[in-house]
C-alpha cells in the first residue's frame, strides 16, 4: 500500500464515523440496541483493565478498517453495501409490517364470520356449503340429523367464504414468515458481518453479500426508498408486491 497522508486518513475516519452514526440511527428507529450507552460509561469503567483491553482492540480494528477504506475499490464496495443493506432492511421491515396488518385484518374477518355463523349442539360455529353440506370450523361434516335442526341467521357466511378466508390467512402467514426468514437469516447475517470491524469483510465477501441481497428478494429493487416511520399500508410502491393480490 502506498503512503497515505494524515489528511487522507482523517477524511476516511470522518466518512467511517458518518456511516456508523447513520447505521446507529437506522437501528434506533426500529428499536435495536446500538450500544451507545456503553460509550458513555463513567471513568471508573474506562480505567478497568478489561475496558482498556477492549478499547485497544477496538482502536486496532478501526485502524485496520480505515486502512482498508483508503483503497478506492474497497471503499466503493463498502459504501455500496452499507447503503444497499440499509435500504433492504427498511423495505423488508415495511413489507413485513404490511403483512402483519393484513393478517390481523383477515383474522378479525374470520372471527366476525364465526360470530355470524350457525351454531352446533355444543355452541360451536358451523357453516353450510351451497350444495347443502354442513361442516364445523375444521371442515368436518355434521351428522344429517344434527344439520337439519340448525337455525341459520340471514347473514350467515357460506362455508366457501369462511374456508377461503382461512386459506388466505394461512397463505399470508406463510409468505410473511418467508420475509422474516430473509430479514433474519440473510440481512441479519450480512448486517452482523458488515458491522464486525474486528474482522472486516473482504472485497469478495461484500460482492457476495450484494448478490445475496438482490438475488434472494429481487422484487425489493423495484421499490423506492421510504422515509423512516412511513406507513407501508399506504405506500403505493410497496403495494406493487404480490401481497394485495392475496387480499382480493
- Dump pLDDT digits (tens) for 93-112: 999 999 999 999 999 999 99
What is the Cα–Cα distance from 164 to 247, expressed in whole angstroms? 11
Query: What is the average pLDDT score of the chain?
Result: 79
What stretch of H or E contains 128? strand 125-128
Average pLDDT for 204-230:
79
Place of cell 361434516: 141
29-43, 54-68, 153-167, 218-232: which has the minimum mean pLDDT? 29-43
Residue 3 has pLDDT above 80, yes or no: no
Average pLDDT for 76-91:
95
Q: Is the dihedral of CA 104, 110, 115, 119 positive or negative?
A: negative
pLDDT digits (tens, 9 = 90+) for 138-175: 999 999 999 999 999 999 999 999 999 999 999 999 99
- SS3 label, residue 198: coil
Q: In Å, how far are 14, 96, 217 from 155, measured between CA atoms?
A: 66, 33, 42
Q: Which of 90, 28, 68, 80 is nearest to 220 (CA)?
A: 90
Amino acid at each position: 500500500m502506498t503512503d497515505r497522508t494524515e489528511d487522507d486518513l482523517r477524511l476516511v475516519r470522518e466518512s467511517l464515523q458518518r456511516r456508523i452514526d447513520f447505521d446507529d440511527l437506522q437501528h434506533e428507529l426500529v428499536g435495536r440496541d446500538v450500544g451507545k450507552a456503553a460509550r458513555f460509561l463513567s471513568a471508573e469503567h474506562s480505567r478497568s483493565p478489561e475496558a482498556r483491553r477492549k478499547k485497544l482492540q477496538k482502536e486496532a480494528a478501526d485502524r485496520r478498517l480505515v486502512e482498508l477504506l483508503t483503497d478506492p475499490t474497497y471503499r466503493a464496495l463498502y459504501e455500496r453495501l452499507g447503503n444497499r443493506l440499509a435500504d433492504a432492511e427498511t423495505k423488508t421491515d415495511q413489507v413485513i409490517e404490511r403483512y402483519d396488518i393484513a393478517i390481523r385484518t383477515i383474522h378479525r374477518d374470520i372471527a366476525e364470520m364465526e360470530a355470524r355463523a350457525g351454531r352446533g349442539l355444543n355452541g360451536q360455529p358451523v357453516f353450510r356449503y351451497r350444495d347443502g353440506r354442513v361442516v364445523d370450523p375444521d371442515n368436518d361434516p355434521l351428522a344429517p340429523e344434527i344439520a337439519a335442526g340448525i337455525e341459520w341467521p340471514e347473514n350467515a357466511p357460506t362455508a366457501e367464504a369462511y374456508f377461503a378466508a382461512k386459506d388466505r390467512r394461512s397463505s399470508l402467514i406463510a409468505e410473511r414468515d418467508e420475509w422474516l426468514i430473509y430479514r433474519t437469516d440473510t440481512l441479519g447475517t450480512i448486517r452482523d458481518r458488515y458491522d464486525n470491524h474486528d474482522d472486516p469483510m473482504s472485497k469478495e465477501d461484500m460482492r457476495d453479500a450484494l448478490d445475496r441481497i438482490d438475488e434472494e428478494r429481487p422484487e425489493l429493487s423495484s421499490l423506492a426508498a421510504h422515509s423512516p416511520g412511513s406507513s407501508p399500508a399506504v405506500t403505493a410502491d410497496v403495494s406493487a408486491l404480490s401481497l394485495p393480490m392475496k387480499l382480493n
